[in-house]
Chain A
């Protein structure tokens, strides 16, 4: 601490060390938030359902996605990535996940939404297993913090079924 430069250096290093501790504390404070998100997805209709030339089933559907994810947001949340996936079981795979729609929520004000859309990404099976297939629609989200630990969770919605016949 005997010179100007030495003292300036000491202030800078100690300040940054404390800043790291503050970031840690901010990330830790996220644990005190107990979110209560809600989500529901309605399938308004099957637009078409067919077998492609290569033998894979593909289906196009119109979805009504509504969710209230505002309780996920804390003071340390930068944005939330959310996606809806169709999940089902086939003889080859215990779990198939096909992402149908996704979105980035940049702020708490946009976390309550209702979206009417056809599937943004193609719903194609690895094979021909979709006829009459029962599947879940799962809303997954990843919370991206300003600093610290990322959180991910999901809401599983069950009881959806594809038609018995191509159309």
Chain B
């Protein structure tokens, strides 16, 4: 799942759950049936899980464009100078993973 897809999945999850909760409460209150409210909400939760949990193609429309390895070699990253290399070096190595 790409970055846009993750954002979309989270948004979708929250909207679907809140909407099914509101719908379930209204149905339950109007029909005077507590169990019906729980059933409608359970249905909403299952639907939400099916839509947002699997990695659907829908969530992969904005793939990250990584640079080619050959391209990276042509533009080597600047070497760290000797002074202050201890702190800076650690940070860089972490980022590179």
Contact B37 A11 (CB under 8 A): no
Q: Which of A8, A18, A29 contacts B18 (CB 8 A)?
A: A18
Contact B14 A14 (CB under 8 A): yes
Given A7-B52, A75-B29, residue A26 in contact with residue B37 (CB < 8 A): yes
Given A2-B6, A29-B29, residue A11 in contact with residue B34 (CB < 8 A): no
Which bracket fits the contact residues of B?
A: 20 to 34
Given the complex, which residues of A lie within 8 Å of B17, measured CB to CB?
11, 14-15, 18
Interface of B is mostly: helix
Contact B1 A26 (CB under 8 A): no
Q: Which of B20-28, B66-74, B82-90 contacts A (4 or more CB under 8 A)?
A: B20-28
Q: Which of A1, A10, A76 contacts B34 (CB 8 A)?
A: A76
The answer to whether the Cβ of B32 comes within 8 Å of any Cβ in the partner chain is yes
Contact B24 A14 (CB under 8 A): no
Interface of A is mostly: helix
Contact B21 A18 (CB under 8 A): yes
How many chain A residues touch the partner (CB < 8 A)? Answer: 21
Contact A7 B21 (CB under 8 A): no
Given the complex, which residues of A lie within 8 Å of B18, measured CB to CB?
18
Task: Give the CA-CA distance A14 to B1 in the complex, in Å.
Answer: 20
13 pairs, A vs B, C-beta closer than 8 Å:
A1-B7, A1-B9, A8-B53, A10-B10, A11-B48, A11-B53, A15-B48, A19-B21, A22-B25, A22-B37, A22-B41, A26-B37, A147-B34
Measuring CB to CB, which residues of chain A are less than 8 angstroms from any residue of chain B?
1-2, 4, 7-8, 10-11, 14-15, 18-19, 21-22, 25-26, 29, 74-76, 146-147
